Chains A and B, each alone.
Chain A
């Protein structure tokens, strides 16, 4: 586990249609399906990768995903932009 109480993960249970995709794609078992709906059960294990939000057909999930490494954040500050690896197609070697 990383830092407690920081992630931007949000799930709207009313909108959720119980398809279970979020459970399938989450690398840290953050969700569980019960009573026909998904629930967040391990919020602090979320790494904000965004797989759940992207694969939710009804857009019940919101999360601030994106480049999440210190180097990328520094890069973003220096370029006055969002965190970025600064990789163009030709220099895709940062990760």
Chain B
């Protein structure tokens, strides 16, 4: 499959370097949407190595990035009009932050890639501009020891690159801070929604099966009558945890994500109760409260992995407290569901 972003070749020190476009094509745009929904995420990559934007020369800056194509596209589209080199590391198709955390966007790979492309023959300076979020995987002083190249950490967001360069490779304080506003959060929801699908289908299956129970044993008639609402309630609890909580994150009280999810699940439960969609005897009602809040709390807790401000220590503490509640709520909820069928 030919890469449509390749538009030519640039000569540098006797080698031909592929030249890339700074335009995003329809194919690139659709590809980005797909990976945001978790489709084709493993294979969305570009070849590692050296690329040219515009017509860079020995004095042009070198920007380092990961070989996840979404990262690559976001970088190059912010480089219109520039003449720079891009050094793409082999991060196995993973974005900068996650790869740096794993070590693949790391000192070792950077040093190795610099040597592989013989960077010292391409540029006559010793500067490398790395995305700031690569710092969790790269030790700047070690890269200098091994290759003589100085790592300069650029801004967090590619959109700030041009200003960074104009200011003489200086980043303002705000360019070094990571945010997690509404837009940032919403972008993550589709992937997390799809990623939890096995939890969702599992919960739906369990509740659907239970819905077929009644005083007369197992019955298909009860499946079709009660099964649909059961599945819908599970789905709405899932949405409360993995869509509503992320969207309204800072506005929901409590610091723990699991507790925020609990509140969101409670609100959804109350809406269903007050609209009389959820009805039945007291066991059934309590059981749905417990099951729905267990689901929404658990899914919301999983959003910590997508957030930009939770710490490992904090998540561990949160889990120690909340997971036991989630387990007990789920088990008691299921037991009461069954009990409720026989009253």
Give A contacts to B, CB under 8 Å. 1-4, 6-8, 21, 24-29, 45-51, 54-55, 57, 64-74, 83, 85, 87, 89-93, 95
Contact = CB atoms under 8 A, between A and B. Distances in A.
Given A27-B156, A92-B42, A95-B94, A7 B135 contact: no
Nearest to B298: A70
19 contacts: A2-B309, A3-B314, A3-B317, A4-B255, A24-B132, A24-B153, A24-B176, A27-B132, A27-B308, A29-B176, A55-B135, A66-B312, A68-B311, A69-B306, A70-B305, A70-B319, A90-B42, A93-B41, A95-B94
Contacts, number: 124
A64 B312 contact: yes
Contacts of A70: 301-302, 304-305, 315, 318-319
B241 to A, nearest CB: 12
Contacts of B48: none
A67 B97 CA distance: 12
A49 B310 contact: no
A55 B133 CA distance: 12
A51 B135 contact: yes
A36 B319 CA distance: 39
Given A2-B314, A28-B309, A29-B173, A54 B102 contact: no
B178 A93 contact: no
Contacts of A24: 132, 135, 153, 171, 176
Contacts of B177: 27-29
A4 B309 CA distance: 12
Interface stretch (B51-59, B138-146, B226-234, B276-284): B138-146
B101 A49 contact: yes
